[in-house]
Amino acid sequence: MAELTTLDFDAPIDDVLAALHRDGGVIVRDMLSEDGRRAIVDDLSADFGAAAPGSKSGMELWETFHGANTIRFCGLAARSRAFVDHALLNPVLAAVADRELLPGCADYWLNTGQVMAVGPDEPAQYLHRDENNWPEAVKPDSEVTVSCMFALSDFTRENGATVVVPGSQSLPPGLVRGHEVVDAEVAYSEMSAGSGMIYSGKVIHGAGANTTDAWRYGMHVSFVSGWLRPEEASPIQVDCATAAALPERARQLLGWSSYHSEGGGRIWLVDFEDASRLFD
């Protein structure tokens, strides 16, 4: 079995990046403080109880992808201030995203913040690459998206820890929808609650099978280049009044500001002005 490197949250960012570049994923212990993790779980606990497992898409591909006994919901910044303070603005994830994404864009924003709770007896998700959301933008040597799977509860091989194929970020770009799981080649992101597995948009991965009778609670947070459209329509979920109460960087990440490209282009404007002017 392959393994991902596990580092402490205060490890030098160059060490985190070296492991990420070598394997396509790296586990960082205690990315969420215990207080932060508990606050997120408290804020979201009613939503965990109310959400039904399975996909609402009505599309076979997405129903298979989402999993019949997996609970997913988004709009986390509208549901939890602790999500904003501890996950959206997480300093380790920000440092990695700056280094990985800023060479290809003037800024990035939230792609999606998504609870991924894998239930008992859920089979493994088909393996895939996140960057395939934006096939036209994919390039072999640069990232358009970077993700973190935060463990809100302990992740074990038995309960569905994210499966990663280390090194697959270096394979030629292209659509991956299912990939053979060869035991010697895959790593299971086993990690304690509060840890995060930061991973490349290029690496082949997916949720593992949950063979236990307990839920595996995960929370995915990903960023995407500011000139691409994110998976989740954050400003439609996080309204202006909610955004106004958040730190400026959180508002920018949630789409309540505009994008200025290096060459002077401006997009996502409000009446020709930067959307952040709404908060002046």
Ligand X SMILES: O=C(O)CCC(=O)C(=O)O
Which residue stretch of 180-188, 199-207, 242-250, 260-268 sits at the interface with ligand X (rule: CB under 6 A)?
Answer: 199-207
Q: Is 111 in the site for ligand X (CB under 6 A)?
A: no
3-state SS track over the chain: CCCCCEEECCCCHHHHHHHHHHHCEEEEECCCCHHHHHHHHHHHHHHHHHCCCCCCCCCHHHHHHHCCCEEEECCHHHHCHHHHHHHHCCHHHHHHHHHHHHHHCCCEEEEEEEEEEECCCCCCCCCECHHHHCHHHCECCECCEEEEEEECCCECCCCCCCEECCCHHHCCCCCCECCCCCCCCCEECCECCCCEEEEECCCCEECCCCCCCCCEEEEEEEEEECCCCCCCCHHHHCCHHHHHCCCHHHHHHCCCCCEECCCCCEECEECCEEHHHHHC
Q: Is 205 in the site for ligand X (CB under 6 A)?
A: yes
Q: Which of 207, 246, 250, 253 touches ligand X (CB under 6 A)?
A: 207
Q: Which of 7, 88, 116, 246 touches ligand X (CB under 6 A)?
A: 116
Q: Which of 80, 90, 125, 210 touches ligand X (CB under 6 A)?
A: 125
Nearer to ligand X, 37 or 251 (CB): 37
Q: Is 119 in the site for ligand X (CB under 6 A)?
A: no
Q: Kindly state the smallest distance separating residue 200's Cβ from ligand X, in Å.
A: 12
Residues 148-187, one symbol each (x = binds ligand X by CB under 6 A, - = not), give -x------------x-------------------------
Positions that interact with ligand X (CB under 6 A): 116, 118, 125, 149, 162, 205-207, 218
